[in-house]
A and B are shown apart, each in its own frame.
Chain A
């Protein structure tokens, strides 16, 4: 990858982390660690892969992105605000009365949100319906869906996993945020989904694995879909839950939690957030 582009994407990811952190702290809480693990994935999708136009969010020819792991909605909000789907100031209303930015994204309230998600195991099939519609109409838009690894414990995921290859949906790409931690603990300690790549391969998907924080790898892989003609693509992105804030990284307790004053100070320092104060944040 071109060094300048890599640097640009990395800087964007850094800025998004700051935005996510501020939004969640200001709003009084949210799914912080699960939002931080997908930052590079969203950055690469929205700044290097998706064919979208923020001023025409309903263009029928646009590529679609569905955040099936809807609890990471704040990360999506940060992206959409940065791209100008709505004013960045709207982020300040997160967690406040009557905001349009709920804990889980609503397609009827937020421009750029393609599906209202939050209940796990729904967005994947919904997005597949959009891909199927594209095939029926002979359109060349593509559909991307981002799933959680814990979400792969839902039965509906595997119904859709069977259906996609059957319909030869090579305009459809799923990405799994494989951070190895679900709400209460590590997947290995609760219900393991491993080996993930082999499972999807066995279901008929064309699978690639990447470092989900390496923008170069992500751009290369996501930029080369479909991996095989006639098959849906699956990208297993190995990530770190809570990425970017040292005390949150790979620590299960940060699934949904608000940092203390001291922790906020540390996090702001690490994320390069200046002129902060606890009063300003919460």
Chain B
């Protein structure tokens, strides 16, 4: 995802001199090509996230389009008030790009896991949140962020995310990325799995397994967490009656909360809902990303188990 982002940024910077890459001493090597070709559109702030965001807002006030990039936790949490006051309150055209969504930086431990960022960012007025599921979608989301005028939080995993979509990078499979319009990854009317980000891979794996057992699970990719696609959620709830949310994030304030709000406000609180994610905890343990998913209850077995529990009700 990170490389797809950089590819998009490289194209954007070449086409529009207002586009600037801001970094906080993270990702230096992957920026090499960009830095070589657009040195005047590249600024490394050192380990100073708060200042990077304030300066980004000031740059935007003069017509620049800064993409401020660093590890998600440091961007959205350490610099939260700068994001709130300097970017959102003043409605500045700043793109905040956080890497290390969820616990993809598995071995680095919870200081480097972004597991409350969605809750924080979605509370901010005027913020758009893109949470792509794979590299091709990250590319499209970056392009979409550049086309919009206003603050965007782009939540990226890191390098080497498995493909969710078939086809060449940038094509998003057969779909074109439409902000605010979720994508149906699988059809099915027995239950719906609503997910966001790279963890959708587990939803697809679970749907495959459930299919072998005769259960048709619909899989929905919420690549835009804010504004959320209410229609697709309500339709899934109405047609299946069973909804599982899946996120590499705390269930408090994240996608699970978003979906619960949508259902409750539409009078569909009677739908069976199960929220999978971190429950009042930081991500447990160290290990590979795959091991971390398992330990933290987000690998496909847990999705399948939740599906069976809902089916038996």
Interface positions of A (Cβ within 8 A of B): 60, 107-108, 114-116, 118-119, 121-122, 124-134, 136-137, 155-156, 159-160, 162-163, 166-167
Is the CB–CB distance between B45 and A122 below 8 Å? no
Q: Report the minimal beta-carbon distance from A45 to chain B, rounded to whole angstroms.
A: 18
Interface positions of B (Cβ within 8 A of A): 20, 40, 43, 45-46, 48, 50-51, 53-64, 81-82, 85-86, 89-91
Interface of B is mostly: helix
Residues of B within 8 A of A167 (CB): 43
Given contacts A122-B85, A156-B82, A163-B45, is CB(A129)–CB(B50) below 8 Å?
no
Question: Which of A60, A126, A155, A156 sits near B58, CB closer than 8 Å?
Answer: A126
Question: Which of A114, A115, A126 sits near B55, CB closer than 8 Å?
Answer: A126
- Cα(A122)–Cα(B81), bound, Å: 9
- Cα(A159)–Cα(B45), bound, Å: 9
Is the CB–CB distance between A162 and B46 below 8 Å? yes
- Cα(A163)–Cα(B53), bound, Å: 13
Is the CB–CB distance between A162 and B48 below 8 Å? yes
Is the CB–CB distance between B64 and A156 below 8 Å? no
Q: List the 4 shortest-distance A-B pairs measured between CB atoms, nearest first.
A: A129-B58, A125-B54, A133-B62, A159-B51
Question: Which of B50, B59, B81 sits near A130, CB closer than 8 Å?
Answer: B59
Is the CB–CB distance between B40 and A136 below 8 Å? yes
- Cα(A118)–Cα(B54), bound, Å: 14
Is the CB–CB distance between A119 and B90 below 8 Å? no
Is the CB–CB distance between B85 and A163 below 8 Å? no
Is the CB–CB distance between B45 and A130 below 8 Å? no
Is the CB–CB distance between B51 and A130 below 8 Å? no
Residues of A within 8 A of B63 (CB): 60, 133
Residues of A within 8 A of B53 (CB): 125
- Cα(A130)–Cα(B92), bound, Å: 13
Is the CB–CB distance between A129 and B91 below 8 Å? no
- Cα(A129)–Cα(B43), bound, Å: 11
Question: Which of B46, B48, B54, B89 sits near A129, CB closer than 8 Å?
Answer: B54
Given contacts A128-B55, A132-B55, is CB(A115)–CB(B50) below 8 Å?
no
- Cα(A126)–Cα(B51), bound, Å: 8
Given contacts A130-B58, A163-B46, is CB(A122)–CB(B86) below 8 Å?
yes
Is the CB–CB distance between B51 and A160 below 8 Å? yes
Residues of A within 8 A of B50 (CB): 121, 125, 155-156, 159
Known: A115-B90, A130-B62. 19 other contacts (CB 8 A): A108-B90, A114-B61, A122-B81, A125-B53, A125-B54, A125-B58, A126-B86, A129-B61, A130-B58, A132-B59, A133-B59, A133-B64, A155-B50, A156-B51, A159-B48, A160-B48, A160-B51, A160-B54, A163-B45
- Cα(A127)–Cα(B90), bound, Å: 13
Residues of B within 8 A of A156 (CB): 50-51, 54, 82
Q: Report the minimal beta-carbon distance from B177 to chain A, rounded to whole angstroms.
A: 29
Given contacts A108-B91, A116-B90, is CB(A163)–CB(B58) below 8 Å?
no
Is the CB–CB distance between B89 and A116 below 8 Å? yes
Residues of B within 8 A of A130 (CB): 58-59, 61-62
Q: Report the minimal beta-carbon distance from B142 to chain A, rounded to whole angstroms.
A: 21
Residues of B within 8 A of A127 (CB): 58
Interface of A is mostly: helix
7 contacts between A and B (CB under 8 A): A107-B61, A108-B90, A116-B85, A125-B51, A126-B54, A128-B55, A129-B56
- Cα(A124)–Cα(B51), bound, Å: 9
Given contacts A107-B90, A116-B85, A126-B54, is CB(A163)–CB(B48) below 8 Å?
yes
Q: Report the minimal beta-carbon distance from A63 to chain B, rounded to whole angstroms.
A: 13
Residues of B within 8 A of A124 (CB): 54
Residues of B within 8 A of A60 (CB): 62-63
Counting chain B CB atoms within 10 Å of each CB, the highest count among A60, A125, A134 belongs to: A125
Q: Report the minimal beta-carbon distance from B264 to chain A, rounded to whole angstroms.
A: 34
Is the CB–CB distance between B62 and A134 below 8 Å? yes
Q: Report the minimal beta-carbon distance from B215 to chain A, rounded to whole angstroms.
A: 52
Q: Report the minimal beta-carbon distance from B36 to chain A, rounded to whole angstroms.
A: 18
- Cα(A167)–Cα(B46), bound, Å: 12
- Cα(A60)–Cα(B18), bound, Å: 15
Residues of A within 8 A of B40 (CB): 136
Q: Report the minimal beta-carbon distance from A143 to chain B, rounded to whole angstroms.
A: 8
Given contacts A155-B50, A159-B48, A160-B55, is CB(A126)–CB(B81) below 8 Å?
no
Residues of A within 8 A of B46 (CB): 162-163, 166
Residues of A within 8 A of B54 (CB): 122, 124-126, 128-129, 156, 160
B51 — nearest CB in chain A belongs to which residue?
A159
B87 — nearest CB in chain A belongs to which residue?
A126
- Cα(A245)–Cα(B58), bound, Å: 36
- Cα(A36)–Cα(B25), bound, Å: 41
Residues of A within 8 A of B60 (CB): 129
Counting chain A CB atoms within 10 Å of each CB, the highest count among B48, B50, B55 belongs to: B55
Is the CB–CB distance between A126 and B61 below 8 Å? yes
Given contacts A128-B55, A156-B50, is CB(A119)–CB(B64) below 8 Å?
no
- Cα(A137)–Cα(B20), bound, Å: 12
Q: Report the minimal beta-carbon distance from B39 to chain A, rounded to whole angstroms.
A: 12
- Cα(A156)–Cα(B49), bound, Å: 9
Residues of B within 8 A of A115 (CB): 58, 61, 90
Q: Report the minimal beta-carbon distance from A169 to chain B, rounded to whole angstroms.
A: 10
Q: Report the minimal beta-carbon distance from A92 to chain B, rounded to whole angstroms.
A: 26
Residues of A within 8 A of B81 (CB): 119, 122
- Cα(A163)–Cα(B63), bound, Å: 21
